[in-house]
Amino acid sequence: MVAVKTLTWRDRCALYLDLIRWSRPQGWLLLLWPTLTAMWLAAGGFPGWHLLTVFTLGTILMRSAGCAVNDVADKDFDRHVQRTAQRPITSGKLSVKEALGVGAALALLAFALVLTTNQRTITMSFGALAVAVAYPFTKRFLAMPQAVLGVAFSFGIPMAFAAVQNQTPPVVWYLVAGNLAWVLAYDTQYAMVDRDDDLKIGIRTSAITLGRFDVLGVMTFYALCLMCWYFAGRLSGCGAFYNAALVLAGAQALWHGWLIKGREREACFKAFRLNHWLGLTVWLGVLAESLVG
C-alpha cells in the first residue's frame, strides 16, 4: 500500500477538488438539467430563488459526495484502469478515511439544504442517499449497474415535484423513466471507454452485457428517453417549443450514435461528455414554454 504523504493545505484542497471532479462539471450538469426541467414543469415556470438555490447546490454537493464514495468503493479496481489509475485514493495521495470524511461533509451540507423544504422532500432524500451509496458496489454483481445509477440520478425529479407541489403526479414517472433511459444511454457510452480494462478486472457494465449490440442498445435507450419525455410534455401541456427541443435533442442523440459507431475510446468518451447539452436543450424547451405560456 502506498503511504499517504504529509500535504500542505493548498495541496490537500487540490486533491479534494480532484476527488469530487470539480474540473469536470459534466457530471453534475447531467443531474441538474433533468431536475430543473422537473422544477419548471412542477411550478409552471420559475420555481423561486429558494428552491432553485436548494436544488442547484444540493445537486452539486450530492454528486461530489457520490464521487468520493465511488472512488472508495472502486479503489482496488481503479488502479488497473488506464483512465482512473491516478485518482487521489488509488494513487495513495488521499486516505480512505479522509475521502469518506469529505463525502460525509458534503452530504450533510446537502441535507441541511433539504431541511429547508417540506417533509415529503426530506423523506425522499434518504432514499436518494441510500441508492447513491449503494450504486458503486452494484458493479460487482449486477449485469447493468447503470440502471441503479439511473435511479440515483433520477431522484431529483420526484423531489423537485415534492418540494413545489407536495405531491408526485403521474408526469413524474414519465420524466423518471425517460431520465433512467438517458442515463443508460450515456453511461453505456462511458462504460465503452473502459470495456477492455473492465473485462480484465471483472467489473460488470452495460457495455459488457450488451456486447456487440452496445451501439444499438445506446440508440434504443435514447429513443425510449425521448418518447417518455414527449409524453411527459403532453401531460404537462407543453407545445411547439418543447417539441422542437426534443427534436434537437434527438439530433444530438443521432450525432452521439455516429461518434460511437466505431467503438473508439476517445470518440465514446466525447459522446459521453456532450450529453449534458442534450439535457440543457430539453430544459430550454420547458423554459421557453413557460415564458410564452
Residues 6+ positions from 82 with CB-CB distance below 8 Å: 194, 197
In which residue ranges of the chain is pLDDT below 50?
1-4
Instruction: Name the residue among 191, 194, 183 with its Cα closest to residue 210.
Output: 191
* 260 in Cβ contact with 267 (< 8 Å): yes
Indicate the class that CATH gives domain 9-292. mainly alpha
Global confidence as pTM:
0.93
Say if residue 88 is exposed, middle or buried (CB neighbours under 10 Å; 0-12, 13-18, 19+).
buried
Closest by CA position to 110, among listed 157, 55, 35: 55
pLDDT tens for 11-47 read 788 888 888 888 889 889 999 999 999 999 999 999 9
Which residue is associated with the grid cell 432514499? 127
How is the chain split into domains, by residue range? 9-292
Q: 175-184: per-residue pLDDT in tens? A: 999 999 999 9
DSSP state of 93: S
